Amino acid sequence: MHHGQVTLKGFSSSHCSCSMIIEIRSNKLQELSNSLLCWPLVSAGRKKRRGELSPEQLEFRDTARKFAREEIIPKAAEYDKTGEYPWDLVKKAWNLGLINTHIPEHCGGMDLGILDCTTITEEIAYGCTGVQTAIEANSLGQMPLIIAGNKELQKKYLGRMTEEPLMCAYCVTEPGAGSDVAGIKTRAEKKGDHYVINGSKMWITNGSVANWYFVLARTSSDPKMPAGKAFTGFVVDANTPGITVGRKEWNMGQRCSDTRGITFEDVLVPKENVLGTEGIGFKIAMGAFDKTRPPVAAGAVGLAKRALDEATKYSLERKTMGKFICEHQAVAFMLADMTIGVETARMATQRSAWEIDQGRRNTFHASIAKAYAADVANKAAADAVQIFGGNGFNSDYPVEKLMRDAKIYQIYEGTAQIQRLIISRELLSEAKSQM
């Protein structure tokens, strides 16, 4: 099956009314948010509209929204308890065209822009960010290949993902190299027509379910070689002899996503599987973040919106001192602040996505969106728990899961502190260039 269009196969036209969630009717607020935007919310190469989503983007959003509410939300709590990988949801999302949206057309994909993808991701994350992370990990794994792979390599590895629901993974982080990517110890030594990879990776999302990996390894033996020349990126089949997948990590949140350690022991990789040329892997790996951080930020926005909706609904049901708790100014102001966070984080996310779709370097905006949306998600989830009071601390209610799920947004794909380092670096570099 080639994902050339969105389908609603198997879906009814009516919206699901789950007891767990009520959709807050905020169309006016969304319209206001769109009208405030000063850049066109469409991907590069399409007719531009100022201040609104295109019809195609609205179709993707509505499909993802329907899927999240009718399929993901009813199953999210159970997946959180068991930690089981959500294959049934992944396959349904694949059938709807909600996965692998970045894949180029020559590989059978839809070649959607980053803004299109953020629109989808926010809705999936609204349902469950564990499911969203499992899906988004595919985009991160694919992006180096999309950026630097030749067409033959792209067709081989990306093409298969449009034919059946396969996953991939981004293998960069190591026990001694998280934010300090330059500290990577995994080595790749060239021997004839192959490279031999040895080393260990950790915190690899989709580690045990991936069909193939993007692997960043050191190819320079010179310890003083700068990171920009010391590493090479490889595409590695997951069934290659010498690869050992570790145990599933039981994390604080997003428990249905698959997080593993991966060990490479004398793993042979053909030279044809090198991305770009030897020595440019670091630039490729970091360049992928400019394209994937906006969707990660969108996931945080989706979680924050879910927290806001749950808190709003509860505040209209719970009474204290003879009136609904939303009538107490303390609670009303919390809801207002949550709303401000959701709307402004969405704007920052859309801006960062639009910049990259226009072919411009978006490192600055991507880091702002990622850092800000992550903070908004954590505050919104914590405030939702506070509004729920004692019930918020109980697993029978959805907001404690949101609070656990939110934390990772301040850690993966670049910590909150790393984003601020990037933002300040970009800011000062621009200021110096104007002096």
Angle 183-216-254 from CA coordinates, rounded to 5°: 90
Q: What long-range pairs does 108-111 form, CB within 8 A, spacing at least 24?
A: 108/2, 108/3, 108/158, 108/159, 108/162, 108/163, 109/3, 109/158, 109/162, 110/3, 110/4
Structure tokens at 92: 């349904």
Beta strands in 37-143 (DSSP E): none
What is the pairing mode between strands 210-218 and 167-171?
A: parallel
Strand partners, 187: 198, 218
Q: Residue 275's closest CA among 220, 242, 231, 211?
A: 231
Other CB atoms closer than 10 Å to residue 28's CB: what's the count?
A: 8
Cα separation of 98 and 91, whole Å?
Answer: 10
Q: Which of 152, 413, 426, 430 is catalytic?
A: 413
Contact 191, 270 (CB under 8 A): no
Residue 52 annotated in active site: no
Cα separation of 233 and 212, whole Å?
Answer: 13
Reduce the DSSP state of residue 46 to 3 states and report it: coil
Active site amino acids:
413
